[in-house]
Amino acid sequence: MSAKITTPFFSQSLGSYGPAVAWVTFFVGILVSWWALLWMSAEHNTIGNLSPSGLDRSFISSEASLPLGLNADLLLSLCLTATNELTFVGLVAMWSIMSLAMMAPTAVPMLKSYQDILVAGNGKISPRAFWALLGGYLTVWICFSIPAAGLQLLLVTFDLLAVDGTSLSGWLTTGLLALAGIYQFTPIKEACLSKCRSPMAYFMGRWQPGIAGAYRMGLHHGAICVGCCWALMLLGFVGGTMNPLWMFGAMVLMICEKLPDIGRYITRPLGIVLLASALLFLGQTLGVLSLS
């Protein structure tokens, strides 16, 4: 007689709650990333004697702590040396945290579509596959952080950017706005957006089973997302890479642009606005217009 193997009740319960735990952990990670960015921005502006807009720093102290035991001074020291000079490793860390905070929310439709396909196929969700898909997606954005950090350090070296990542050059501002505006009308932008707006169709056409397959699909979809959003992300050099208002506004804009119902009404009008802004800054740079 063969013995009947039963699964402990605790394991069954943990498995049934696995997807919910994964989603809760995902959103908590986003909130912690935003909290870290706000602290880094406020502490950095304090040290740099800058005037942040609309941010109350009266609650900040050098001994204050972030969630999960992170310390504000520790995060700030990633980006600055003792003489307030930027470091490449610190900027990569800052861009990586910023990418997690800004781009992870835009991946929600992709993650939800993947979950729906798994449920339809075998009636259950694998939390490990969920994290593999998200891990592949974020791996690409962390890789994007490396050249972005190098570009920021280079621009700061040539006095084209302030320490907080804000453009000091009218020509740089004009160029970035024009680049982002023109890119909104390009076929590659449209091609990438079409896949971001229809993650279900993307998965049906490129499905790969298993944990490794989920990670590879996350890598590919992350590359598509970078192809869609890289020019908008570089506008951080206009609004300030440590400006939380710019980061939040850009995140909302990129989320809306990827929504199939309203995104198609945003892309080209946004390109027109960006090009018009570039012309205004060009006029100011040439001394023809005054934007003050």
Q: What is the Cα–Cα distance from 18 to 135, expressed in whole angstroms?
A: 17
Give pLDDT, residue 49.
43
Helix spans in the chain (H): 9-47, 72-79, 88-103, 108-122, 127-157, 170-183, 187-197, 199-206, 210-233, 236-239, 244-257, 267-285
Give pLDDT, residue 76.
54
* Burial group, residue 9, by CB count within 10 angstroms (0-12, 13-18, 19+): exposed
Give pLDDT, residue 5.
43
Give pLDDT, residue 11.
37
* Burial group, residue 280, by CB count within 10 angstroms (0-12, 13-18, 19+): middle
SS3 221: helix
CB atoms within 10 A of CB 105: 16
pLDDT, averaged in runs of 10, over the chain (292 residues): 43 53 89 85 55 40 47 53 65 90 92 88 78 94 94 92 87 95 95 92 89 95 95 91 87 92 91 95 83 62
Give pLDDT, residue 12.
39
Nearest in space to 19 (alpha carbons), one of 114, 91, 138, 152: 114
Give pLDDT, residue 146.
95
The label of the residue with tokens 């890289």 reads: 230
